């Protein structure tokens, strides 16, 4: 039978395993049983020693590594980490989870990108583990865990999940409700909708129930409660660490995690590799105003009321943020957040918002003097919810709005478009920006080549005239 702690390392059973197994003095000691299990369940990587965790510390790092790679490495193969999804690893994994939580809470703040990476990876591990368990065992396990997590699963109200709903882990629209109660089994569904379904054939009732509820909702609630508890766990460790001294092994694990994440970022981040226009590698760089398209320059110089708000809030905010943080958004078909590239929001505050503020001040009449509430709409378009400034903890509450196409600009903000010859080759201001930057780079390379040739010519002439004299 699969242990509850395989899904919920914070369960009572998980606490017991931790108490029995943890020995902070041997976190980095080679563990033969762990190596044997990892090798046995790792498909095709037995010969590659670097991929097998050899101690609890390495297993903790792998817990983050696999999730990071799944998000960022296009050649990622989940089978390299098969050992994580086999029950044989569960007791080791419980210890690795708790070690990692302590290392992260000690080294980073609880709203940091690393903390988010940890809680998101826990969410994903639960999903993947459940997917690999046979249906009967999976249902039994989910019920047991939910019974431990909730007082009474049979009379669960949406008000029992207010923490999850207010933090947008679960949306009311995900749930099927009747008089405030969440429907979680077919019998409840039949009773609640008796009048509506009384003439339906049996098959249809079951089919509709499974489509609307099934086990999906139980698993969603279970996963999100564990993620919420993991966030709370990080906070409680952080509070405790204010009064107690952390074990040196946890400190070392935190340092190793930082080092490991830096290496993973360098190796797999999509933002530091892959071609721009033409050959050569593309790198995130400071904004280059000389490569901005005419419509963007016009917006920054100042737009008049009429389409002023849309020009700044909808158009400029998305253009500037993507130009600086993810100019390849249309080329890489993958959703990311601002903090995937700007983890501490320094770039957002120091480089992106100042340009938006400049455009707002130049507008006639100035945007924020006239309508200060538009600041909230700008934050919302960056993906940080309806607040007056972007904060890490609010990310994801709204969507990071992608830049409009030229076609839409011409249609809705027609007076901004002053197409030049580069515009003929693109369909979006962001593509203009990348193309123009590449053109400027090539031009500059040509100029410096010319200067070098001229200088070389002069030197040769001087050498010849020196020889003559």
Question: Could you give the string, one character per residue 128-157, with x where binding to ligand SF4 holds by CB under 6 A and - elsewhere?
Answer: ------------------------------
Measured from the CB atom, the residue of 49 and 407 that comes closer to ligand SF4 is 407
Distance of alpha carbon 211 from alpha carbon 197, whole angstroms: 15
Measured from the CB atom, the residue of 294 and 385 that comes closer to ligand SF4 is 294
Least spacing, CB of residue 404 vs ligand SF4, in Å: 8
Measured from the CB atom, the residue of 206 and 309 that comes closer to ligand SF4 is 309
Going by their DSSP bridges, the two strands 177-178 and 181-182 should be labelled as antiparallel
Measured from the CB atom, the residue of 343 and 429 that comes closer to ligand SF4 is 429
Joined tokens for residue 448: 């410096």
Measured from the CB atom, the residue of 254 and 429 that comes closer to ligand SF4 is 429
Q: Report phi then psi at 273, rounded to 5.
A: -150, 170
Least spacing, CB of residue 410 vs ligand SF4, in Å: 6
Could you say which of 117, 295, 352, 360 contacts ligand SF4 (CB under 6 A)? 295
Measured from the CB atom, the residue of 68 and 432 that comes closer to ligand SF4 is 432
Could you say which of 114, 319, 429, 436 contacts ligand SF4 (CB under 6 A)? 429
Least spacing, CB of residue 425 vs ligand SF4, in Å: 10
Measured from the CB atom, the residue of 84 and 432 that comes closer to ligand SF4 is 432
* Number of chain residues interacting with ligand SF4 (CB under 6 A): 11
Least spacing, CB of residue 429 vs ligand SF4, in Å: 4
Measured from the CB atom, the residue of 66 and 432 that comes closer to ligand SF4 is 432
Question: Would you tell me the crossing angle of helices 248-268 and 56-72 to the nearest 10 degrees?
Answer: 30
Task: Establish if 432 lies at the interface with ligand SF4 (CB under 6 A).
Answer: yes
Distance of alpha carbon 391 from alpha carbon 92, whole angstroms: 35
Window contacting ligand SF4 (CB under 6 A); options: 28-36, 180-188, 289-297, 359-367: 289-297
Measured from the CB atom, the residue of 21 and 418 that comes closer to ligand SF4 is 418
Q: How many residues does this entry show for the chain?
A: 469
Distance of alpha carbon 252 from alpha carbon 250, whole angstroms: 5
Question: Could you give the string, one character per residue 385-424, with x where binding to ligand SF4 holds by CB under 6 A and - elsewhere?
Answer: ---------------------x--x-------xxx---x-
Q: How many CA atoms lie less than 13 Å away from 326 in the CB half-sphere?
A: 24
Least spacing, CB of residue 436 vs ligand SF4, in Å: 10
Least spacing, CB of residue 418 vs ligand SF4, in Å: 5
Least spacing, CB of residue 409 vs ligand SF4, in Å: 4
Least spacing, CB of residue 319 vs ligand SF4, in Å: 9
Least spacing, CB of residue 108 vs ligand SF4, in Å: 40
Measured from the CB atom, the residue of 88 and 417 that comes closer to ligand SF4 is 417
3-state secondary structure the chain: CCCHHHCCCCCHHHHHHHHHHCCHHHCCCCCHHHHHHHHHCCCCCCCCHHHCCCCHHHHHHHHHHHHHHHHHCCCCCHHHHHHHHCHHHHHHHHHHHHHHHHHHHHHCCCCCHHHHHHHHHHHHHHHHHHHCCCHHHHHHHHHHHHHHHCCCHHHCEHHHHHHHHHCCCCCHHHCCEECCEECCCHHHHHHHCHHHHCCCCHHHHHHHHHHHCCCHHHHHHHHHHHHHHHHHHHHHHHHHHCCCCCCHHHHHHHHHHHHHHHHHHHHHCHHHCCECCCCCECCCCCCCHHHCCHHHHHHHHCCECCCHHHHHHHHHHHHHHHHHHCCCCCCCCCCCCHHHHCCCCHHHHHHHHHHHHHHHHHCECCHHHHCCCHHHHHHHHCCCCCCCCCCHHHCCCCCCCCCCCHHHHHHHCHHHCCCCCHHHHCCCHHHHHHHHHHHHHHHHHHHHHHHHHHHHHHHHHHHHHHHHC
Measured from the CB atom, the residue of 81 and 432 that comes closer to ligand SF4 is 432
Measured from the CB atom, the residue of 106 and 422 that comes closer to ligand SF4 is 422
Least spacing, CB of residue 372 vs ligand SF4, in Å: 28
Question: Could you give the string, one character per residue 3-42, with x where binding to ligand SF4 holds by CB under 6 A and - elsewhere?
Answer: ----------------------------------------
Footprint (CB under 6 A) of ligand SF4, residues 226-255: none
Window contacting ligand SF4 (CB under 6 A); options: 45-53, 60-68, 134-142, 288-296: 288-296
User: Residue 67 in contact with residue 61, Cβ under 8 Å?
Assistant: no
Least spacing, CB of residue 298 vs ligand SF4, in Å: 8
Residues that bind ligand SF4 (CB under 6 A): 293-295, 406, 409, 417-419, 423, 429, 432
């Amino acid at each position: 039978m699969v242990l509850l702690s395989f899904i919920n390392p914070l369960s009572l059973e998980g606490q017991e395993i931790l108490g029995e197994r943890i020995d902070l003095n041997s976190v980095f000691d080679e563990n033969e049983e762990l190596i044997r299990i990892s090798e046995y369940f790792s498909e095709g990587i037995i010969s590659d020693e670097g991929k097998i965790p050899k101690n609890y510390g390495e297993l903790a790092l792998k817990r983050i590594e696999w999730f990071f790679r799944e998000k960022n490495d296009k050649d990622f193969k989940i089978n390299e980490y098969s050992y994580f999804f086999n029950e044989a690893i569960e007791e080791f994994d419980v210890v690795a989870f708790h070690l990692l939580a302590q290392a992260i809470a000690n080294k980073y703040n609880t709203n940091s990108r690393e903390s988010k990476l940890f809680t998101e990876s826990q969410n994903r591990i639960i999903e993947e583990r459940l997917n690999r368990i046979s249906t009967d065992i999976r249902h039994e396990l989910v019920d047991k865990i939910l019974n431990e997590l909730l007082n009474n699963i049979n009379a669960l109200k949406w008000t029992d999940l207010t923490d999850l709903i207010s933090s947008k882990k679960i949306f009311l629209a995900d749930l099927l409700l009747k008089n405030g109660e969440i429907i979680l089994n077919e019998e409840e569904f039949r009773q609640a909708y008796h009048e509506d379904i009384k003439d339906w054939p049996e098959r249809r009732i079951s089919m509709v129930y499974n489509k609307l509820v099934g086990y999906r909702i139980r698993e969603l609630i279970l996963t999100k409660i564990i993620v919420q508890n993991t966030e709370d766990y990080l906070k409680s460790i952080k509070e405790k660490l204010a009064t107690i001294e952390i074990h040196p092994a946890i400190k070392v694990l935190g340092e190793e995690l930082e080092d490991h994440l830096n290496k993973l970022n360098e190796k797999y981040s999509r933002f530091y590799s892959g071609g721009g226009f033409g050959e050569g590698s593309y790198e995130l760089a400071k904004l280059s105003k000389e490569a901005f398209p005419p419509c963007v320059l016009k917006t920054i110089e100042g737009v008049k009321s009429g389409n002023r708000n849309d020009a700044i809030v909808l158009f400029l905010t998305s253009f500037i943020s993507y130009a600086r943080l993810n100019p390849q958004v249309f080329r890489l078909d993958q959703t990311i957040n601002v903090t995937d590239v700007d983890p501490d929001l320094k770039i957002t505050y120091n480089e992106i918002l100042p340009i938006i503020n400049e455009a707002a001040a130049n507008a006639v009449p100035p945007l924020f003097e006239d309508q200060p509430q538009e600041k909230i709409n700008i934050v919302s378009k960056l993906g940080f919810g309806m607040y007056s400034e972007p904060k890490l903890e609010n990310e994801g509450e709204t969507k990071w709005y992608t830049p409009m196409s030229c076609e839409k600009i011409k249609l809705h903000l027609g007076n901004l478009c002053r197409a030049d010859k580069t515009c003929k080759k693109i369909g979006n201001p962001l593509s203009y920006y990348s193309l123009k930057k590449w053109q400027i780079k090539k031009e500059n390379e040509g100029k410096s080549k010319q200067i070098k040739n001229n200088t070389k010519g002069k030197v040769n002439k001087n050498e010849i005239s020196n020889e003559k004299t």
